[in-house]
Amino acid sequence: MFISKIFIKNFKCIKELSIYPNEKFNVIIGENNQGKTTIFEALQTWYRCYQLYIRPNKTDFYVGNNLYLPYKDLNFLRLAKDTDLYNSTPNEALIGLTIVDTDISGSQVQFDLQFKINRPQSISNAYLRVLKYNNQQFLSFSTHLKTKNIKLDEAIFLYQTSPIAQVLAQEPFMNEGQVRKKIMRGKSQEVLRNKILLHRDLQQLEHQVSNVLGSEIKFKILNKNQKNKDEYINLQVLNQTKQFDLHLQGSGLIQISEIFATVDYLDSKLNILLIDEPDSHIHLALQKRLITNLKALSHNQSFIISHNDSFVNETDDGELFYLSQDTKLSKELKHIEDGDLIKKDFGSPILTLERLNNSDNIIFVEGKDDKKYITKILEKFVESDIITNKSEIKKCYYFHIRGKDNLGTKLEHNKRTLSQLFNDKKYVVVTDKDFTSIQKSNELNNTIKSKLGSTSESLCHDGYCIESTLFSDLNKLHQYLSFVTTLEIATIESNSYTILDNIINETKNVTSTRYQKLEQQFNSQKNNRPELSTTNLSEIIVDSTGNRDAIKYLMNKKTIREYVTSLEDSCNVTIIPNSTHLSDEDFCITLFLDYIEKIDIHNIIFNNHKNLIEKIYNAQY
């Protein structure tokens, strides 16, 4: 038996929300004040209503009129007054669970058990009226349980753990009924000794606690057979040859013992276990082992609220849920479709999700250095007062899509996952041109926009890669090189044009080493890039060698380095100091970052960079 849907309407901070949990294990994350704990409170409220409607014979529900839930019994809710229970007027909430089970033939059946909860208009803080929303569903559920000889009070049990600093030093002996009543009233920690005493399989409990703590734990009840003579339970814990009373143990051991003693002590068809922020009272080293052991429990559906990445990283597909304002507006909370994307791509999944939630735009960049370049350009534009609307700059979060191969598939996959979580984001895709012809590049950008939506943007650097945008305006490139070398622009131009013309001529020569290497690189990329399937290298050559201004499409990192070192030699200057030990990539990083770092000094601005910052950040000049 498991919950397949939780429906909450007009309850505290939730206007309306349908939750579709995993049948075994659920981790709910999200920013504060979005309603994670409210979900737990709704489940607890539903459970109180469920118990309220069970008749004394334990096999039928009461039929007909309202029943009443005293306000004083709502001590498990965070309320100052009874109207705090409702999101808005009228003061009526609806909470429902859709419960799935198998019938005696083995077929799956489901029951939609909803309760209406309202308050009387004339009396405050006295009681709440509770009414079954669909009596037939409750009748079907009770009939179903009768065929399986299960009583209503034995079918479902809900338990929420709370941080426990200590337990009672003196705990009196109790019977099973008294223990169960304490648990149901939220005072489970007051009967931990009794739960261990009455546990059906003490060795199993010791094994579970030992597994989580990573050391052997033994519970010794010294007066187990003295319950008719002694008033209090004498329970000692043996841990690594040291023996102390239970209330002298650390909070981690007590909390873990409390969880497993309670869950295993109960034998309901469905045990609903609610754990609110276990990371606040269970040590990081124990959390992964706790998750493993919780997942091993049978007849148990666990819900964990966490702000800790350990719990996120231990979830499997279908177990991770992100609650945000966007989720609440959509009225549906479903598991994150691709949990691996969240876990693998985010250094800190929870922190990253919060940053995503607070961002206006989501930016997909191809290269790992693109974010560093673009954010640095923005910073310099702001410092230099190039941007006029500084207060309106959009907040952006960057995704690194690791190359242009299978680009459409990767973008669709990432956007589908992110759209589950956020529905008001603008997507901007920034890619290198690489070997794409001008025509194919425009077609690719249009295809990407159609996949991501009309508000999205798809941009291609005005050059082979982002570093080659320095060649998108040769006059400005020469100005920058003149600034760096202190040489006259005429000297820079003369030597630069000679080098560029040599590169163009060699590229046109199909027998040259340059052409053959270019062809080899082109063929290696063609296999994984659908937009190149109908492109020939000759088209790229035509685009790139028609004139000097088009050479930006040829300037890959190796060629950029070749150009700069040739210019250094011909002009007898140093542009990149101590460059011999640098790779082509590091050489280009050094060059491009030096240009960016000194924007506020040389004030040489490329139109391509202005367009990039405008589209990504909504910058105005």
Residue 307 has pLDDT above 80, yes or no: no
- Same domain, residue pair 420 and 442: yes
Residue 241 per-residue DSSP state: T
Find, among 293, 272, 262, the residue nearest to 198 by Cα: 262
- Same domain, residue pair 518 and 551: yes
**pTM, whole model, 2 decimals?**
0.64
**What is the predicted pLDDT for the residue at 338?**
63
Residue 545 has pLDDT above 90, yes or no: no
Find, among 455, 471, 486, 443, the residue nearest to 551 by Cα: 471
276-287: average pLDDT = 71
Give the residue from 338, 367, 399 where a domain finishes.
338
Please name every residue paired with 26 in a beta bridge, in sequence order, or none if there are none.
303
Give the residue from 294, 311, 338 where a domain finishes.
338
The count of structural domains within the chain is 4
Q: In which element (H, E) is residue 613 found?
A: helix 607-617
For the stretch 400-420, pLDDT in tens is 877 666 677 777 777 777 777
Residue 200 domain boundaries: 166-266
- Domain holding 126: CATH number? 3.40.50.300
13-30: average pLDDT = 92
| Half-sphere exposure in the Cβ direction for 542 (13 Å, CA) | 8
Using an 8 Å Cβ cutoff, are 152 and 59 in contact? yes
In which band, very low, low, confident or very high, does the pLDDT at 343 lie, cut at 50, 70 and 90?
Answer: low
Find, among 431, 425, 428, 371, the residue nearest to 406 by Cα: 431
In a domain, 157, yes or no: no
Strands 25-29 vs 396-400: parallel, antiparallel or unpaired: unpaired
In a domain, 158, yes or no: no
% residues pLDDT > 70 (the chain): 94
In which band, very low, low, confident or very high, does the pLDDT at 116 lie, cut at 50, 70 and 90?
Answer: very high
Strand ordering across the sheet containing 156-161: 156-161, 270-276, 300-305, 25-29, 320-322
∠ CA 192-194-200, rounded to 5°: 105
% residues pLDDT > 90 (the chain): 49
Residue 350 has pLDDT above 90, yes or no: no
Average pLDDT, rounded, for the chain: 87
In a domain, 371, yes or no: yes
- Same domain, residue pair 104 and 226: no
Residue 52 has pLDDT above 90, yes or no: yes
Highest mean pLDDT, choosing among 347-356, 421-430, 445-454, 569-578: 569-578
Using an 8 Å Cβ cutoff, are 277 and 8 in contact? no
Residue 546 per-residue DSSP state: S
Residue 262 has pLDDT above 90, yes or no: no
585-604: average pLDDT = 95
Give the residue from 203, 238, 266 where a domain finishes.
266
